[in-house]
Amino acid sequence: MKILSVNAGSSSLKFQLYEMPEEKVLISGLMERIGIGDSFYTIKINGQKIKKTQELNNHEEAFEALVKELEGNHVVDSLDEIKGIGHRVVQGGDYFNKTEVVTDDVLSKIEELSSLAPLHNPAAVTGIKAAKEVFPNALQTVVFDTAFHQTMPKENYLYALPYSWYTDYKIRRYGAHGTSHKYVAQRANEILGRTDTKLITCHIGNGASISAIVNGKCVNTSMGLTPNAGLIMGTRCGDIDASIIPYIMEKTNMSPKEVDNVINKQSGLLAISKKSSDSRDIEDGIANGDENCILAQKMYVRRITDYIAKYYVEMKGCDAIIFTAGVGENSVDTRRDIINELSVLGVELDSDANNVRGKERLITTPSSSIKCYIIPTDEELMIAKDTYELAK
């Protein structure tokens, strides 16, 4: 059965077509600059990467371009071969705790939640509507970044704020990256050969979050009402004293929107290093003795280890720590720094095993108290799996 995984951004469309249940990737690609001019896309098929320039004025035109590639490369003879299309949606609020089939009511709720994810949910709705036009006979599903975290207990998802803020305005911890955390947790359980596990999953990329997972269920996660909570990230500040915001507004006359822009797009590694939001640039700066980059890395690692330690205590132990996403999978130095900070818990790094990028691997010694793994994430496959189960 052919299943298409879709991740629509405001001006982009990422896709991957699978033959399920074999999990074979038939074609993948990314369409960029949709609706803003000079658009182009890249596709990967049969191990070959191809870049094409084509004006894409909206997401429907992007899907039509996708159809031409599917047919032109003989991936499908008919669009009816594609039985399901799974869409990534960032914010599902507390309405959704699993993947859902798209209905008018589901779409309405996704639109309602746009205020909690203004950059992501509207784009997802646009992508879903466009897909329905171009693929009218395929089952459309939505996979929510927040759904996996809906198993958190109330004491972990509520804030110590007036309770009416939760009931009236939906203010609570939702988390994000749930599809990734779910995927790597399932894979870790396969490696360990059991499901009665206590895992700490570290999705560390330009956006980053950590989750505590007991017996396959999320019990806590570092992101909050929005993705700007928890860890220090590429351009996000993560946890701060909330009173900083009214204080700086009074001092500078900045508007709420201006402050929000600063804490989301001008903070994090970028702000402290004064150089870049990219971990690779920070590492280059450290190698050259740049004091700001050294400081940024220390702060970055400290926040990550703070959350790992917190979840270790909360779960009363841990069977495995998982590193995934761009930095987690590829930064040898960051993994080393984090694991060395955890030596007080008896975690021991295998330096030779850790010297790898983007490959699944155990990176701790046999005597380490907690196993640490690199597990490359695959959110698109997780979307395809869920959609396949519903399409069957």
Which residues have a catalytic role annotated?
145
Name residue, tokens 């001092």. 251
Backbone angles phi, psi at 2, to 5 degrees: -90, 125
Our measurement of the distance from residue 26's CA atom to the centroid of its chain's CA atoms, rounded to an integer in Å, reads 23
Query: What ranges make up the beta strands (E) of the chain?
Result: 2-8, 13-19, 24-32, 40-45, 48-53, 82-89, 100-101, 139-144, 198-204, 208-214, 217-221, 320-324, 361-362, 371-374
Query: Which neighbouring-strand residues pair with 32?
Result: 40
Angle CA(375)–CA(268)–CA(204) in degrees, nearest 5? 5
Backbone angles phi, psi at 121, to 5 degrees: -60, -45
Note whether 387 and 86 are within 8 A (CB): yes
Backbone angles phi, psi at 108, to 5 degrees: -60, -40
Neighbouring residues of 338: CB distance < 8 A, sequence distance ≥ 6: 202, 301, 304, 305, 308, 323
Distance CA 248, CA 32 (A): 36
**Burial environment of residue 138 by CB neighbours within 10 A (0 to 12, 13 to 18, 19 or more):** buried
